[in-house]
Amino acid sequence: MSLFRLSMQSNMLTGLIPKLPRTIVVLDISRNSLSGFVSDFQAPQLQVAVLFSNSISGTLPTSLCRLPKLRVLDLSNNLLSNGLPPCGRKELKQQNPSNSNNSLRPNSMSSFSLKITTLLLSNNNLSGGFPLFLRQCPSLVFLDLTKNRFTGELPGWISGVMPGLVMLRLRSNNFSGHIPIEIMELHDVRILDLSNNKFSGAIPRYLEKLKALTGIANNRTFHNPFEEGYEEKYAFMLAGLSNDSFSMVIKGQVLEYRENTIYLMSIDLSCNRLTGEIPEEISSLAGLISLNLSSNFLSGNIPYKIGNLRSLESLDLSKNKLGGEIPQGLSDLTYLSYLNLSYNNLSGRIPSGHQLDILKTDDPASIYIGNPGLCGRPIQRQCPGPSGDLPSNGDSARWVEDDLSPMDVLLGLIIGFVAGAWLVFCGLLFMKRWRYAYFGLVDKLYDRSYVISVVTWRKWLGNTGVN
């Protein structure tokens, strides 16, 4: 056959993926029950391979390294195991047969590269360290390794080898160690999901280097994986991911995103072992829509300038060790529709205003539960002392809720007046100089008022007599 595109998704196909025509460009056999690849799998013209939701088991074939035009590879929701093929190692052995395996370091394979821009391997049984295969993918834009069994530390070469990453999803693996500071060099990244791993240490600083999340205009263009195309002899045809989606945890629930994924702007570092404070630089990410740092060991205060994240719709800082007061700047987040600050060590009066007054109207107290030092609306614990927000328009109900009733205000005014009067009386009683000055001033004021009244009266009588 000389076909360019083969689309047989959502059927009941079983067995191995057969040997394909050498002319094939697009292959979509997703949502079947295929179990693996034939041993001599070759497709030198293949550009798009959509194979998700099958039963493909075993390891990825090394023939994957011999697909020079491949740009999209979606093998998510399968049964793949072990690691990714070490592309380039065999070629180096052929060129230098005298070299041992120990001399074949990743740096020596830098001359070998693939054109893959989208690599989706989520929900498999892949294991081992962070794949060295990715060193051969300098054009990678979308990388999804979620729900596998990868272990070890993240290498610092991620940003140098794959500088154009827009999506980096490593959720639900067993990665450990510190998050490398080189991650902050991913200027184009819009979705950074490292949640549900074993990362420790502090959140890297220099977050302002994530230019795409700061809202700074970026002229770089890239293909949406759902709108990816392929080149035919006389035309360029669209053949993106069919019926696939990305599962994102946002606003406290799992949501499915497709074409609009690239507009999400999200950072998720939840369910790790991160310590230290939340960097102040996080306030520079004005384009951020979702921020989830929950279930860590973060301490210190919530950044004072967090109100600068004007695009934020979802903020989850729950289950940490954060202390201090809740910044009033949270009320400036006019797009905020989900907030969770529960189970921390926060204290002081809960701020109000704008979005904070309408969040989770069915149970607003759950936003702040587990913080015994907090007080004021919407929880039941009353705050001592006067409220920082004075009531307006006779809203006595709000005075009561904020622990300041009109009777308290009236009593305070009376006590203040009596105290001030006694202070003046005692001063006149015991200070001789004060008494002389006070009564002298009274005499002068009396004399002046008497003269003014007499002159005015006589002038008025005189004018009346003339008339």
Tell me the C-alpha distance between 364 and 357, whole Å. 9
Residue 392 resides in a domain: no
**Helices 406-430 and 432-466, interaxial angle, to 10°?**
100
The residue among 426 and 328 whose pLDDT is bigger is 328
Residue 52 resides in a domain: yes
Question: Do 317 and 414 fall within a single domain?
Answer: no
Domain end marker among 302, 321, 340: 321
Mean pLDDT for 309-313 is 91
Question: Do 294 and 159 fall within a single domain?
Answer: yes
Q: Is the pLDDT reported for residue 104 higher than 60?
A: no
Mean pLDDT for 348-357 is 83
> How many CA atoms lie within 13 Å of 236's alpha carbon, on the beta-carbon side?
3
Q: Is the pLDDT reported for residue 102 higher than 90?
A: no
Residue 13 resides in a domain: yes
Question: Do 182 and 304 fall within a single domain?
Answer: yes
Question: Do 154 and 275 fall within a single domain?
Answer: yes
Residue type (1 letter), 26: V
Residue 348 resides in a domain: no
Q: Is the pLDDT reported for residue 412 higher than 50?
A: yes
Residue 292 resides in a domain: yes
Mean pLDDT for 371-393 is 71
Residue 142 resides in a domain: yes
Question: Do 310 and 427 fall within a single domain?
Answer: no
Task: Give the pLDDT band (50/70/90) at residue 229.
Answer: low
Domain end marker among 321, 336, 365: 321
Domain end marker among 256, 286, 321: 321
Residue 366 resides in a domain: no
Domain containing 266 — which CATH number?
3.80.10.10
- Residue pair 322/342 in contact (Cβ under 8 Å)? The answer is no
Question: Do 285 and 434 fall within a single domain?
Answer: no
- Looking at residue 1, its pLDDT comes to 73
What is the domain range of residue 11? 5-95+108-321
Question: Do 446 and 297 fall within a single domain?
Answer: no
Tokens describing residue 97: 């047969």
Tell me the C-alpha distance between 244 and 264, whole Å. 17
In the chain, the number of structural domains is: 2
How much is the mean pLDDT over the chain? 81
Question: Do 295 and 436 fall within a single domain?
Answer: no
- Residue pair 381/375 in contact (Cβ under 8 Å)? The answer is yes
Mean pLDDT for 362-377 is 89
Tell me the C-alpha distance between 274 and 293, whole Å. 9
**What phi and psi values does residue 136 have, to the nearest 5 degrees?**
-95, 15
Question: Do 41 and 170 fall within a single domain?
Answer: yes
Question: Do 23 and 170 fall within a single domain?
Answer: yes
Residue 301 resides in a domain: yes
CA distances from 140 to 158, 175, 188, 397 (A): 11, 20, 12, 58
The residue among 367 and 223 whose pLDDT is bigger is 367
Q: Beta-carbon neighbour count of residue 167 at 10 Å?
A: 23
Mean pLDDT for 40-46 is 85
Question: Do 429 and 315 fall within a single domain?
Answer: no
Task: Give the pLDDT band (50/70/90) at residue 452.
Answer: confident
Tell me the C-alpha distance between 365 and 367, whole Å. 5
